[in-house]
Structure formats: structure tokens, C-alpha cells
Amino acid sequence: MASPISCISILIIPLLVTSLFYDVSNADRPLLEKVCKQTFDHDFCMSVLLSDPEGLTNVLYRLGLVSTSVSLKIISTTNGEIGNVLIGVTDPVDRTRISNCQTDIDDVYDKMQLARNAAGSQSYWEEARILASAKQKIIDCEKQFESSPKHASPISDHTYKITKLINISVVIINMLLSS
């Protein structure tokens, strides 16, 4: 007679092996493709939207919520990375500019929280207004490095990433407003 452990093993092992090959995402690939082909960076967009642990990207409305929620996580991480860049900068003009940008990005984070709330209440025009304001903060940050004395921004990779995140949300809003 087989032991209870071997009987359980016979049942559980096939389930475990099957789960390795099961895609738990509810993502609607054609919808993601439709959104991402309209953004600055298709691959970045796909990775952002597919990073949702709940896989709730099968409806455009929820996709917008995913976009802003993921943006909040990435902006928070990016702001920390900018803080690390600031530690290594000795030029006082660049330190001031980066500090100003860090403040701007803190504001962008707050604006993205407001945008998520607007998306949650399906106030898309309000969300669009908030996102435009957030994008302006990033533009203001970058413009500091263009003024005299002109320097290349040491954080442009970070600010460009935030710009791409905002762009994903704007694309989704435009799709929602046109449907």
C-alpha cells in the first residue's frame, strides 16, 4: 500500500510543474500593443504595463490605473537614484540644479498620486491636466541645465524615464477620451 506522502506527491508534483508554464496574467496583449505602439518607447511601455502583479491590464480603464500606480513606484525609486547622483556632484551650480530637480520630482510624485485618484474616479480631463502639470515640472528641471553655465544634465536618463511614464498615461487617457 502506498504511503499518504507518496499519494500526495503524485497529486501535487504535476500541479507544480503545470503552474510553472501557466501565464497568470490577464493582460490583453492586443490592447497593450495598441497603447505601446503610440508611446516613445514600445519596449519600456510593455515592461511597465506587464509589471502589474495583479495582471489587471485587460480593460483600458484599469490599464490607466496600472500605468499611474507603476509610475508612482518607478518615480519613487528614480528620485532615490537622483539623490545618489547628488552625493557625488561637487559643482555647486549642478548641486543646486539637481536639488531643484529632486524637489520637482517630489512634486511629480504628488501629482501622479492625484492623477491616480482622478483615473480611479474616471475624471480623465482632470487627470490629463495633472499629467500636463507633472510633465511641465520635468521640463523645468531639464531647462535648468540649459541656462548659463550650460551643462549636460547628469540626471537626464532619470528625467527621460519619468517623461516616458507620463507619456504612457497620456496615451491611455487619449484613448479613453476618444472611445
Cα-based distances in Å from 17 to 6, 93, 108, 141: 16, 57, 44, 50
Cα-based distances in Å from 147 to 109, 110, 157: 25, 27, 19
Percent of the chain with pLDDT over 70: 82
How far apart, in whole angstroms, are the C-alpha atoms of residue 45 and residue 40? 8
- Return the domain boundaries, the chain: 26-178
Q: Looking at domain 26-178, does it have CATH number 2.40.30.10?
A: no
How would residue 2 be classed by pLDDT, with cut points 50, 70 and 90?
low
The per-residue pLDDT for 169 is 94
The per-residue pLDDT for 159 is 92
pLDDT at 85 > cutoff 50: yes
How far apart, in whole angstroms, are the C-alpha atoms of residue 81 and residue 103? 13
Higher pLDDT, 12 or 122: 122
pLDDT in tens, 91-130: 999 999 999 999 999 999 999 999 999 998 999 999 999 9
Long-range contacts of 100-105 (CB under 8 A, 24+ apart): 100/141, 100/144, 101/141, 101/144, 101/155, 101/159, 104/137, 104/138, 104/140, 104/141, 105/75, 105/78, 105/79, 105/137, 105/138, 105/141, 105/158, 105/159, 105/162
- Nearest CA to 156 among 88, 76, 108, 85? 85
